[in-house]
Each structure stands twice: as C-alpha cells, then as structure tokens.
Amino acid sequence: METAVKLTKLAKCAGCGAKVGAGTLVKMLEGFQTHYDPRLIVGYDKSDDASVYVLDKDTALVQTTDFFPPIVDDPFLYGQIAAANALSDIYSMGGEPKLALNILCIPEDMEQTAVQEILRGGYSKVYETGAIITGGHTIHGAEPIYGLAVSGFVPPDRVLTNSNARPGDVLILTKPLGIGILTTAAKAELVETSVLERIYRQMTTLNKAARDIMVRFSVHSCTDITGFGLLGHSFEMAQGSGCSIHLQADRIPFHPECYELAEMGFIPAGAYRNREYAASGVKVLGDVSRAMLDICYDPQTSGGLLIALPKEEADACLAELNAQSTLTCGLPVAAADGLPAAAIIGYVTEPQEAALFLQK
C-alpha cells in the first residue's frame, strides 16, 4: 500500500533497533521492590523472553509485550512484522499464543487508512497463530509505534528458558542474520527490491513451525534472536546457564548481501549498544572479520530461534527444521536459491575464561 508519508521517515529508529540496550535495562530495574510468588517461575529478573506463571499442574501462563516504530513504509507489512515479532517470545518459551492486545501510538494527522492497515496486518498474523486479539490501547504521539501484549499457555514442565543450556548441547539457529544492516542500507536505497522482499518474508514468517518442531525434541534452552543480536542473546544464555557458549563464525547463516554493506559501515546504532553490553564477555578466536562481528551484533527484527539441545538429537531436529517449507525466509528450502537455512552454529561447554566465544 502506498502512503502519502513514508512511515520510516516518521521514526528515529526502526524495528528492534529501537530497543533499549540490555545493560541499560538491568540498571533501570535495580533495587525495585517486588512481591514473591512461588507460582512465578520466570520473571523479569531472569532476563528471559516472557514471564511464566503456573496456574495449575497442567498449565502455565506465558505473557510478553513487544512494540516498535516502523521498519518498513507499507503499513500492512509493518503491522505483520510487529505482530510476528511480539508473538515470537511466546514460541521461544515453548508456548502457544492464545490472546493478544494491540498497543498503538499514532500521530494525530496520520491517515485513517494507514492506521487501519497497520492493525489489519497485526490481525492477520495473530489469526495465523490461532490466537485472538481481544482489544488494546491507542494513544497519539510524535511517531507511529505498534505491537502486541500476548498471553499464551505452556505445560509447566515444558517451559523453555534462555538459562538452561547444558554442557554438551549443540546450538541451532533457525533464521539467517543481517536484518538490521539491510534495513539500514535500504534507507539509502542500496538494497535491491528482491532482497528486501526476501527479508520482509523472513520478518513476517512466524516462529510457530520452528516451535512445533523443537518441542518434539529434548530441548534444554531457547531464546529468539531479536534486538540484542546473536551475540547479545547468546551472552544472556551463557550467563544464565552458567556455561560457556562457542559460536562457529563460518557456520552462522546470514543474508549474503549484508556482508559488503557491513564492510561499508551500514551498521544500525543498536549493534553498537549490543557490542557495549556483551563485548566484555565475548572472546574472538581466529580470523573473524570485523564485518562478521558486526553481523553477529546486528539487532534482528522478528529473528529466528536459538535452540540448545543434546548433540545426539541435533541432526534430526535440524533435518526436520529444514524440511519445513516456511522456515527459510518464508520460502521452501529447495526454492530459496541457496539462501541460508537453519544451521548448527555452535556448542555449549562447562564455564571457561569467557562466557561466549566467537571462533573461526
């Protein structure tokens, strides 16, 4: 849909690149008084993707919220991406979304048709999950912001957190990196339409299929790769699990076009925040290029899942993931022209001198 005003021109930051840095968030929340409840098994103190509250022996409530300024100009597409990104937190915990509330901020002079298209995009993705949007809240502001508050359910004994990776586990990443770099370069019109269409398909592809596959295996830990980038989210997993994570740079899937753009300096501000947060715990081994390091710190919007599971199950899980036609940028693997699919990108060990290693 064409709009009189480009949505991305109304926003200072785009997508998950607008996310406040992880280190800043920790400081903001220090010293707050909270109630203790034994039924709350995952809270904000865990730095996880969603909170989890046990309702009974069979059911736990999973809750999250996520919203951001436009990452694309098309309002319908923006609504789809923002909704898919918010829903991802439920999937990364092993849950199923059930209810959602719209969160919307719009400039007073924004066209009504554009607002309707943003909401329609969000509704389309929530409908795809089988969940229901039951209401929401809208305010006026200087720039558009859209997202969802989402509630879902998961059996209490099958909750997946980002802090339970175990030595001997293998790590699988389900979507390629490079979204932040490519959308940054797109503002300078340096990205071909076909590439943009590909990353738009990726960002609107739900992590539902990946979740449905991974819960059939003995997954120990999971997180989705979004605003803190691969290294930021992996660093949180390593810290929370009390282990060291080893990422193999030559196995990490990324959109090939983003490498040259990274070399040219099209790096979103969020990547520098992610580096500031995680760099003290990251040790780079071997000849890892600066561009590759930037790609690993690049903030992703509606990124893939990072799954930690036993080595003996990893190949079977990966095979099922890559047989699922909706995982590779929304295209069947065989039709994706050699684009990166889900991949085994590293492994977990007992704690070593660094929490996270990036090695070639």
Side chain identity, residue 151: S
Q: Please tell me the distance from the alpha carbon of residue 196 to that of residue 141, in angstroms, as a whole number.
A: 28
Q: How many CB atoms lie within 10 A of CB 323?
A: 12
Q: Could you tell me which of 161, 167, 164, 171 has the C-alpha nearest to residue 342?
A: 171
| Active-site annotation holds for 16 | yes
Summarize the chain as % helix, strand, coil (round to 5).
40, 25, 35
Listing DSSP states for 34-76 in one string gives ----TTEEE-GGGT-SSEEEEEETTEEEEEEEEEES-SSS-HH
For 62, 308, 322, 323, the CA distances from 209, given in Å and listed in that order, are 18, 17, 11, 11
How are strands ordered across the β-sheet holding 132-140? Answer: 40-42, 51-56, 59-68, 145-154, 96-106, 132-140
Task: Out of 13, 16, 222, 296, pick the active-site residue.
Answer: 16
- Asked if residue 309 lies in contact with residue 56, where contact means CB atoms within 8 angstroms, the answer is no
Q: Please tell me the distance from the alpha carbon of residue 222 to that of residue 274, in angstroms, as a whole number.
A: 19
Report the DSSP beta bridge partners of residue 136.
102
Which positions are catalytic? 16
